Amino acid sequence: MGQDIASSRFTEQDFAEFSRRIRDETRILEQWFAEGRLDESEPSAGFELEAWLIDAAGHPAPRIESVLATLDDPSVVPELATFNIEFNGAAAHLRGSALSTLAQDLRATLERTTQAAGRHDCRLGLIGILPTVRPEDLRLDFMTPRERYRALNEQVFAQRHGHPLRLRIEGRERIDLEWCDVMLESAATSFQIHIRIGAQESARVYNAAKLISGPLVAIGANSPYLFGRDLWDETRIPLFEQAVSVGGPILQERVGFGFRYARHSLLETFQSNRDDYPVLLPQLMDEPPERLAHLRLHNGTIWRWNRPLIGFEPDGRPHLRLEHRTLPSGPSVVDLIANAALYLGLIAHLSREQPSPESRLAFAHTKRNFYACAREGLSADIGWLDGRTHPVTQVLAEALIPRARQGLSALGLDPPEIDYWLGLIERRLATGRTGTRWQRDWVRRHGPDMMGLTQAYLEQQTHGRPVHEWSLD
C-alpha cells in the first residue's frame, strides 16, 4: 500500500498546502518530460508479491509483526492486514536468464520467510483470495498498526460522508453486503510486475499493457471464491474496485481500468492525478520539491490496474516505471514468473508493433475484454485487432504467445529461457488448468469444503510444480 506517513490527523490547511505542492511538483515533472531528464537505461523488471499468513487450521494468522521481527529483511514488509505480507523483488535487467534469476531470488526469500513464519506457528499461502477468509477476519482489529492505513480508512469514509461501502458481485453465485471500513481490500492479494521504461515510449507501453490486461487475467486467474461463494474467475478485480470506493463521480474512483489510451506519454496520468483526484493523505513532508514526495504519495492512493510510478536511481536520477496490478498471487513461483514472461514479452513486442495495436482496437473494447476475462476466465470471448470476436484461448495461442516469444527474443533473453517460461503458459493454456480451474475442479470432486480446499491447495503449493500439474487428490 506504499510509504508510511507520520499522522492520520489533518487540517483544511494541510489539504490546501498538499494540493499546492502537488501542482508545483507536477510542473517539475512536466519539465523533466519536456527536457528528457528521465533515465533511459536498458529495460529492467521487478515485482511485488503479496501473500497470506495462515495458521494450522487454515485461517488467516494475524502475526505479521512477529514474523517480520524474526525475518529482519527490508525487502519483506507489512501490508494492510496483520495476516498479509509483501515481498519486493530486486529488479533484473531484461537479458540472458533474467527470469530465472527473478525466480531463484523469490524462492530464496520465500524459503527464509517460511522458516520465520514456522517459528510463529503459521505458514505462507500464495493465492488471490484465501478460500477460508471470513467476514470476521476483515475487521479493524486486524489492521496493521501504521498511520497510513488508519488515515486511508478515515479519509475514504470522509469522502463517502460516512456511508458504508457496498460490495455487490454477480458471478456464478451472488454476494451483496455492506461494509464500514477498508479491510475488505486485505482479502485480495496480488502479483505486481514493474518494468522500467523510457518517457518517449511510455504511451505505447501503457497502451499495450491495457490491451493485454484481459488475456493476462484469463490465463492467470486464481481467485474464484469469497466467503464461500463462487463468483468471478478473478474475483479480486471487483472486490478491490469496490473495497476502496469513495462513492463519488466515477472519474474519481481510486481503482479502475481507466477511460482512454494514453495519447502522448504517461505524464498525462500524473496530470490527471492533479486535476481529477481529491487528496486522501495530505501528509506534508520536508523534502526538496525535486524529490516529488507529495506527487508520489498522492499517486500511491490511486490504484490503477496499470499504474505509472516515479522512482530515483542511487545517484538521484529520476526514472519512470509501469506497474501492472491485474494478476493475483500464486499458485506457484513458476506460475508467477511465467505470467511475468508473457507480460514482459508482449509489452516489448506490442509497444513497437506497427500499425499500433491500440489504433486497431477501440479502448471501449479493451476495457470490455478486461472485465469479461476477469468474470469468465479462459471461457471469455474478446474483441481483437481484426475487428472480430474470438475465444480468448484462441487469441492467446495464435496471437499473443507468439508475439511474446518475439518480444523476449528482442530484449535479449536466452532461447532456452524463453522456451521454458512461455512453455509453462502454453501447457497451462492447453490443459485449461489455471489456479481458478484447479480450485473449482477440487470443489467439484470433494464438495464445497473451503477448509479442505485451502489445505489441499497449500499442500500442492509446497511441491513447487506449476498449477497445470497439480493433483486433485
- The full DSSP string for 426-460 is HHHHHHT--HHHHHHHHHHHH-S-HHHHHHHHHHH
How far is Cα 466 from Cα 83, in angstroms, rounded to an integer? Answer: 25
How far is Cα 111 from Cα 6, in angstroms, rounded to an integer? Answer: 33
Three-state secondary structure call for residue 230: strand
> What letter would DSSP give residue 11?
-
pLDDT of residue 5: 62
Q: Which residues sit opposite 381 in a β-bridge? A: 391
Contact between 205 and 407 (Cβ < 8 Å): no
Grid cell for residue 371: 472485465
How far is Cα 203 from Cα 140, in angstroms, rounded to an integer? Answer: 39
Q: Which residues sit opposite 225 in a β-bridge? A: 230
Give the pTM. 0.96
Contact between 68 and 76 (Cβ < 8 Å): yes
Grid cell for residue 264: 502522448
pLDDT of residue 2: 56
pLDDT of residue 208: 98
pLDDT of residue 241: 97
Question: Which residues, 6+ apart, have CB-to-CB distance to 21 below 8 Å?
Answer: 284, 289, 294, 295
pLDDT of residue 251: 73
Q: How many CA atoms are closer than 13 Å to the CA of 264, on its beta-carbon side?
A: 7
Rg, C-alpha atoms of the chain: 21
pLDDT of residue 1: 43
How far is Cα 262 from Cα 202, in angstroms, rounded to an integer? Answer: 9
User: What one-letter code names the amino acid at 42?
Assistant: E
User: What residue ranges of the chain have pLDDT lower than 70?
Assistant: 1-8
Alpha carbon distance, N-terminus to C-terminus of the chain: 37
Contact between 218 and 233 (Cβ < 8 Å): yes
pLDDT of residue 389: 98
Question: Which residues, 6+ apart, have CB-to-CB distance to 68 below 8 Å?
Answer: 76, 77, 78, 85
